[in-house]
Amino acid sequence: MLSCREVVNDADQLLDGELHWRQRLSIRFHLLICHNCRRYVRQLRMLIFAIPYMHQRASDEEVSIIMAGIVSSEKSDA
């Protein structure tokens, strides 16, 4: 079983699809039982999604969409 530190170290490679299937399976298993790592990977995914929009100021609509996604993901973890 992977430790949380190992999951954090490999999370970017997981999201980029660069891990071997065994590594992905190990991380996915860990994410099933670890709320904190699930939250970390979800936040990292959202950050990666937002990076292309960081070169300019976000519109109010974009901010509302991102905030709604964060709120709904936090509610689903509760």
Domain count, the chain: 1
pTM greater than 0.75: no
Contacts for 40-49 with beta carbons within 8 Å, 24 or more apart? 40/7, 40/8, 40/11, 41/7, 41/11, 41/14, 41/15, 42/73, 44/11, 44/12, 44/15, 45/15, 46/70, 48/15
* pLDDT tens digits in sequence order for the chain, 78 residues long: 899 999 999 999 999 999 999 999 999 999 999 999 999 999 999 999 888 877 777 789 988 998 898 888 777 765
Supply the range of the domain harboring residue 55: 4-77
